[in-house]
């Protein structure tokens, strides 16, 4: 190697990504791979065996669960898209200053703990829940409607959690669409609904497909919602894996089920890419050929839809009048925002109830359940453990994330795209697969039921968030500042310390807080890694929810809700200030 | 000649009557009157924020008027939605649909009008030939250069022969050389199609080169309207004089002597004004174009100055001279004339009837 070549290797900015890469290799890639290996190993003899897979194939309950998982995920994805699209469209069409405020109404439910959201729906949908009480009170029904422990309950819960994700994925695509194209279409003779379908909708499709895919693969790994809102008929794959590991300790079989889940996810991604092209997720436009049959066919379908929509909108104008028709979208959007926020807000008054039961409205108010919470050593140690673990995990994830984001921003290497994808992988691979793999690894090196184990696990899961957040800030960072600093005599390290880091400080804080929240209400890893006395707040909530619903849970949920929302608002402020 | 005869009988192509636009307390356009004749090329010229784009958007219906009305061929347009107004708009950044090919973009307005597919094909091809883009029919907009995209935008507008074509700074994003080329192109399209065109620009050279008439706008209202020659020769205000061409403006008070001649009294001296100055005017300014200033000390109006800079511009030489109080005047001389060197004191003169008096 020539001196120059050596120099080039050493000053390559990709070095900054090395710590993060090593961390992920050891605590993400290795555990997941060894879990996959485990699935083809005989648990008794240690030989190669496909016993677990034959068992899956020969027991139709597993295939049925796979089918249910697939069906519920697909239904969730479709419903979420249908609900999220008009909402995202409405938010995107708001003037920029109002848009950021409206966006908070979607970001807050996005980050609200799954457990709190699910708990809220249990209160809403139960036999004596809020909805049934209202319906019976208004004498609309005589018997309580069966809303919980069935497919309806699961879908409500799943869609409620996934709509914010769908909106957040579609929004960047929508806001980047040049609104003048709509004006152009109209001056060229297209009616408003034709202009929308033929131009805007077509251009927003990459966002729709990306949103659909993300919702679908996230739904595949769900277990909280089906466990509490569904019945036996809605058992999903992740629930089976949890049972195999924590109750039956059947590693090999849990591994095989995990492989099934991973393969399902990857297959979904593959077919999605084949049909829609996910390159759009990465923001790259697909290179369509102008004569491609699929393209022409797609345009014809849109043509058809637009004609139908045109008739529909004219009908609506005749029936409802122009005034109402023009406001339908805003009304719909506010209804959805209400659907996203109201159930969780309902938890707060119940936390202050004086009753023994989860009644709504509470018969009277008291602080007794908060007293129970603050006087219980179990809850308090769980809470403080969650704070400590979240703080440490956020520190680690921010450090690794900053290094990686800096490396990617400064590097023009062809590896950069690959490395970025690698860091996003913990978001794509189902959490349950990561968690089981980690459990298996930690069990052998004595990290189970330890804070260190939790911190490592949560760092892996929050890394994608920090890389994305810091990366987005660095995109707005003017790299010429670094060049200016070096012409003024600063070396690389001093440039980093005195120029780059202070300028992107807000982004680092935002990333830290996002990582903190991710860890603070993380349950999947905690279910396995935090055992016995070393439990975290979400794990303690999960245990309580399985055992017995009680108003203490509402009090705890209130605390979690407030902590997470506050941190989130602070994070958003830092993120925005840095960008502007 | 037959056409000329018709225009005198028919209502104007576009008539704007008391049209105004306000956003809360902000006035984007004061009540405005304007008539555009069939086949005319009218330019809305003015600095940014002068209301020209607002006027354009009102005409095509993208913005609703606060008051006033718009007539196309004598028919009121207030209740006609954008897509039913027979208007073409060429956008500043082209607004080509990125998901459609060049020929699909051009065919779009025909398709919206329910033209049969077979006809669309031939008309699109004709339009493509018109802008010399026949070979690029199946490309996507992002595969074209800026100039080519602009041609597509023009073809997309001319293809359905709207009764009025509006152009919003269509050449703003192009470099100088391409802009000159496209100006010639637009002029040719106008001549060949006989379309009525309203063109928005802030570039006075472009306005002078293209227009039948220029509508000069400032502070949300029309400052002056007329042929390029009329505005250049007879600016109605300091703004008009300054915005179109280069002007030397000298301010002072107006006096009338016993011979009924008007004089402008300034700190640089007393200048004879052209005949016909209103008797009511007590103060004002005189506008002298750089090409009307000479080094002739025998002129009735003379001005003492010091040469500060010389700019050789090929077809002419510009002399920038400073008056006693620091104001600059600019003189244009043909390149073959010897000009005084930097720092030399000079006397400039002009013929009274060459100057224009403004308030």
Closest CA to B169 of B108, B91, B75: B91
Residue A288's pLDDT band (boundaries 50, 70, 90)? low
- For residues B260 and B208, membership in a common domain is answered with no
Which of A400-404, B1-5, B144-148, B251-255 has the lowest average pLDDT? Answer: B1-5
The DSSP 8-state label assigned to residue B48 in this structure reads T
User: Would you state the pLDDT for residue A290?
Assistant: 61
Domain that holds residue B73: 2-238
- Is there a contact between A189 and B99 if contact means CB atoms under 8 Å apart? no
Which of A264-268, A311-315, B7-11, B272-276 has the lowest average pLDDT? Answer: B7-11
Percent of residues in chain A assigned helix, strand, coil, to nearest 5: 80, 0, 20
- For residues B126 and B66, membership in a common domain is answered with yes
- Is there a contact between A203 and B81 if contact means CB atoms under 8 Å apart? no
- Is there a contact between A183 and B99 if contact means CB atoms under 8 Å apart? no
Strands B164-168, B87-90: pairing is parallel
Q: Count how many domains chain B has.
A: 2
Coil, strand, or helix at residue A388? helix
Of B179, B205, B238, the last residue of a domain is: B238
- Is there a contact between A191 and B89 if contact means CB atoms under 8 Å apart? no
User: Would you state the pLDDT for residue B107?
Assistant: 93
- For residues B205 and B336, membership in a common domain is answered with no
A4-23 mean pLDDT: 77
CB-CB: which of B91, B101, B109 is closest to A189? B109
Residue A493's pLDDT band (boundaries 50, 70, 90)? confident
Strands B213-218, B221-226: pairing is antiparallel
Mean pLDDT across chain B: 89
User: Would you state the pLDDT for residue B278?
Assistant: 79
Torsion sign across C-alpha atoms A46, A47, A52, A53: positive
User: Would you state the pLDDT for residue B220?
Assistant: 93
What is the spatial distance between Cα A111 and Cα B181, in angstroms, rounded to a whole number?
A: 55
- For residues B103 and B211, membership in a common domain is answered with yes
> What predicted TM-score, i.e. pTM, was given to this entire model?
0.82
Look at A476 and A170; give whichever has higher pLDDT: A170
User: Would you state the pLDDT for residue B9?
Assistant: 63
Give the domain ranges of chain A. 12-40+367-580
A169-189 mean pLDDT: 91
The CATH number assigned to the domain with range A12-40+367-580 reads 1.10.3720.10
> Which residue is associated with the tokens 């697969």?
A433
Look at B212 and A232; give whichever has higher pLDDT: B212
Q: Which residues pair with B248 in a beta bridge?
A: B288
What is the spatial distance between Cα B89 and Cα B49, in angstroms, rounded to a whole number?
A: 20
User: Would you state the pLDDT for residue B7?
Assistant: 47
Mean pLDDT across chain A: 86
Residue B175's pLDDT band (boundaries 50, 70, 90)? confident
Cβ contact A45:A448 at 8 Å = no
Residue A8 scores a pLDDT above 80: no
A278-304 mean pLDDT: 64
What's the token pair of residue A407? 């490396």
Residue B6's pLDDT band (boundaries 50, 70, 90)? very low
Identify the closest residue of chain A to B92 by CA–CA distance: A180
- For residues B23 and B45, membership in a common domain is answered with yes
Taking CB atoms and an 8 Å cutoff, what residues of chain B touch A192?
A: 81, 83
Of B204, B238, B272, the last residue of a domain is: B238
Which of A1-15, A116-130, A156-170, A565-579 has the lowest average pLDDT? Answer: A1-15
Identify the closest residue of chain A to B96 by CA–CA distance: A181
Look at A293 and B125; give whichever has higher pLDDT: B125
- Is there a contact between B95 and A184 if contact means CB atoms under 8 Å apart? yes
Residue A43 scores a pLDDT above 80: no
- For residues B195 and B267, membership in a common domain is answered with no
A132-151 mean pLDDT: 88
- For residues B280 and B133, membership in a common domain is answered with no
The DSSP 8-state label assigned to residue A247 in this structure reads I
Of B221, B238, B255, the last residue of a domain is: B238
Percent of residues in chain B assigned helix, strand, coil, to nearest 5: 30, 35, 35
Q: What is the tens place of the pLDDT at every residue in A397-434?
A: 999 999 999 888 887 777 888 888 899 889 888 889 99
Residue B5 scores a pLDDT above 50: no
* A-to-B residue pairs, Cβ atoms closer than 8 angstroms: 70
Residue A57's pLDDT band (boundaries 50, 70, 90)? confident
Closest CA to B51 of B69, B24, B78, B32: B32
For residue B161, the domain's CATH number is 3.40.50.300
Contacts of residue B142, Cβ cutoff 8 Å, sequence gap at least 6: A285, B98
User: Would you state the pLDDT for residue A37?
Assistant: 85
User: Would you state the pLDDT for residue A4?
Assistant: 66
Identify the closest residue of chain A to B102 by CA–CA distance: A290
User: Would you state the pLDDT for residue A505?
Assistant: 87
- For residues B222 and B140, membership in a common domain is answered with yes
For residue B323, the domain's CATH number is 2.40.50.140
User: Would you state the pLDDT for residue A193?
Assistant: 87
Percentage, residues of chain A above pLDDT 90: 33
Residue A73's pLDDT band (boundaries 50, 70, 90)? very high
Closest CA to A270 of A216, A231, A317: A216
- Is there a contact between B82 and A186 if contact means CB atoms under 8 Å apart? yes
- For residues B337 and B254, membership in a common domain is answered with yes
Q: What is the tens place of the pLDDT at every residue in B132-162?
A: 898 999 999 999 998 899 999 999 999 999 9
CB-CB: which of B88, B112, B138 is closest to A194? B112
Which of A295-299, B68-72, B123-127 has the lowest average pLDDT? Answer: A295-299
- For residues B177 and B307, membership in a common domain is answered with no
- For residues B127 and B9, membership in a common domain is answered with yes
Cβ contact A219:A165 at 8 Å = no
- For residues B147 and B114, membership in a common domain is answered with yes
- Is there a contact between A187 and B82 if contact means CB atoms under 8 Å apart? yes
Look at A333 and A12; give whichever has higher pLDDT: A333
Residue A281's pLDDT band (boundaries 50, 70, 90)? very low
What is the spatial distance between Cα B22 and Cα B64, in angstroms, rounded to a whole number?
A: 10
């Amino acid at each position: 190697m020539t001196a120059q070549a050596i120099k080039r290797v050493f000053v390559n900015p990709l070095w900054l990504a090395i710590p993060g890469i090593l961390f992920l290799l050891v605590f993400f890639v290795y555990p997941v791979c060894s879990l996959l290996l485990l699935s083809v190993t005989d648990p008794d003899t240690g030989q190669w065996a496909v016993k677990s897979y034959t068992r899956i194939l020969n027991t139709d309950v597993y295939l049925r669960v796979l089918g249910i998982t697939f069906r519920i995920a697909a239904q969730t994805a479709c419903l979420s898209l249908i609900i999220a699209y008009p909402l995202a469209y409405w938010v995107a069409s708001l003037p920029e200053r109002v848009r950021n405020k409206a966006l908070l109404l979607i970001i807050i439910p996005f980050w609200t703990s799954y457990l709190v959201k699910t708990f809220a729906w249990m209160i809403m949908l139960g036999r004596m829940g809020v909805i049934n009480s209202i319906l019976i009170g208004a004498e609309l029904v005589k018997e309580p409607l069966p809303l919980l422990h069935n497919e309806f309950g699961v879908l409500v819960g799943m869609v409620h959690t996934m709509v914010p994700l769908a909106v957040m994925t579609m929004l960047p695509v929508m806001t980047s669409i040049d609104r003048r194209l709509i004006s152009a279409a109209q001056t060229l003779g297209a009616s408003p609904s034709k202009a929308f379908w033929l131009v805007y909708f077509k251009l927003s499709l990459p966002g729709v497909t990306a949103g659909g895919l993300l919702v679908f693969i996230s739904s595949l790994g769900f277990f909280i919602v089906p466990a509490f809102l569904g019945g036996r008929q809605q058992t999903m794959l992740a629930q089976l894996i949890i049972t195999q590991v924590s109750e039956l300790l059947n590693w090999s079989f849990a591994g095989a089920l995990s492989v099934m889940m991973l393969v399902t996810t990857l297959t979904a991604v593959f077919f999605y890419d084949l049909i829609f092209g996910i390159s759009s997720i990465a923001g790259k436009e697909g290179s369509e050929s102008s004569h491609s049959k699929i393209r022409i066919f797609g345009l014809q379908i849109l043509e058809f839809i637009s004609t139908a929509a045109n008739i529909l909108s004219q009908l609506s104008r005749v029936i409802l009048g122009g005034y109402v028709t023009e406001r339908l979208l805003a009304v719909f959007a506010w209804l959805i925002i209400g659907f996203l926020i109201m159930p969780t807000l309902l938890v707060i008054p119940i936390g202050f109830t004086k009753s023994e039961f989860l009644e709504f409205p509470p018969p009277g108010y008291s602080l007794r359940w908060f007293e129970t919470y603050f006087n219980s050593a179990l809850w308090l140690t769980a809470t403080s453990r969650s704070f400590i673990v979240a703080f440490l995990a956020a520190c680690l994830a921010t450090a690794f994330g900053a290094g990686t984001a800096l490396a990617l921003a400064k590097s023009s290497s062809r590896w950069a795209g690959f490395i970025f994808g690698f860091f996003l992988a913990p978001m794509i691979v189902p959490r349950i697969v990561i968690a089981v793999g980690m459990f298996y690894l930690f069990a052998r090196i004595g990290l189970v039921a330890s804070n260190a184990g939790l911190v490592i696990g949560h760092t892996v899961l929050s890394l994608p968030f920090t890389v994305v957040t810091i990366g987005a800030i660095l995109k707005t960072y003017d790299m010429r500042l670094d060049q200016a600093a070096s012409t003024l005599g600063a070396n690389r390290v001093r440039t980093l310390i005195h120029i780059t880091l202070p300028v992107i400080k807000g982004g680092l804080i935002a990333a830290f807080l996002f990582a903190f929240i991710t860890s603070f209400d993380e349950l999947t890893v905690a279910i396995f890694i935090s055992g016995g006395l070393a439990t975290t707040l979400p794990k303690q909530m999960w245990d309580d929810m399985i055992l017995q619903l009680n108003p203490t849970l509402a009090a705890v949920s209130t605390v979690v809700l407030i902590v997470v929302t506050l941190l989130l608002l602070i994070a958003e402020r830092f993120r925005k200030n840095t960008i502007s | 000649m037959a056409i000329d005869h018709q225009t005198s009988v028919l209502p104007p192509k576009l008539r704007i009557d008391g049209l105004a636009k306000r956003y809360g307390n902000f006035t984007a356009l004061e009540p405005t009157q304007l008539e555009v004749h069939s086949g005319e090329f009218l330019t809305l010229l003015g600095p940014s924020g002068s209301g020209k784009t607002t006027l354009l958007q009102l005409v095509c219906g993208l913005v609703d008027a606060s008051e006033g009305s718009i007539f196309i061929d004598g028919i009121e347009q207030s209740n006609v939605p954008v897509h039913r107004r027979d208007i073409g708009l060429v956008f500043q950044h082209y607004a080509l649909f990125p998901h459609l090919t060049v020929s699909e973009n051009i065919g779009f307005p025909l398709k919206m009008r329910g033209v049969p597919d077979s006809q669309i094909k031939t008309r699109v091809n004709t339009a493509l030939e018109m802008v010399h883009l026949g070979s690029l029919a199946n490309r996507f907009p992002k595969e074209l250069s800026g100039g080519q995209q602009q041609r597509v935008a023009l073809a997309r507008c001319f293809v359905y022969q709207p009764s009025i074509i509006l152009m919003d700074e269509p050449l703003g994003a192009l470099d100088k050389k391409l802009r000159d080329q496209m100006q010639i192109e637009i002029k040719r399209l106008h001549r060949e199609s006989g379309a009525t065109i309203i063109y928005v620009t802030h570039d006075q050279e472009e306005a002078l080169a293209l227009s039948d008439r220029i509508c000069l706008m400032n502070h949300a209202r029309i400052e002056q309207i007329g042929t390029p020659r009329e505005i250049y020769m007879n600016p109605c205000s300091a703004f008009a004089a300054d915005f179109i061409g280069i002007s030397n403006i000298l301010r002072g008070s107006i006096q009338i002597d016993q011979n009924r001649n008007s004089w402008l009294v300034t700190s640089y001296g007393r200048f004879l004004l052209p005949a016909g100055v209103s008797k009511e005017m007590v103060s004002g300014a005189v506008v002298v174009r750089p090409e009307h200033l000479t080094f002739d000390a025998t002129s009735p109006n003379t001005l003492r100055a010091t040469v500060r800079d010389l700019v050789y511009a090929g077809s002419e030489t510009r002399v920038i001279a400073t008056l006693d109080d620091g104001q600059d005047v600019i003189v244009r001389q043909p390149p073959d004339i010897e000009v005084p060197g930097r720092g030399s004191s000079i006397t400039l003169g002009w013929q009274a009837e060459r100057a224009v008096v403004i308030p």
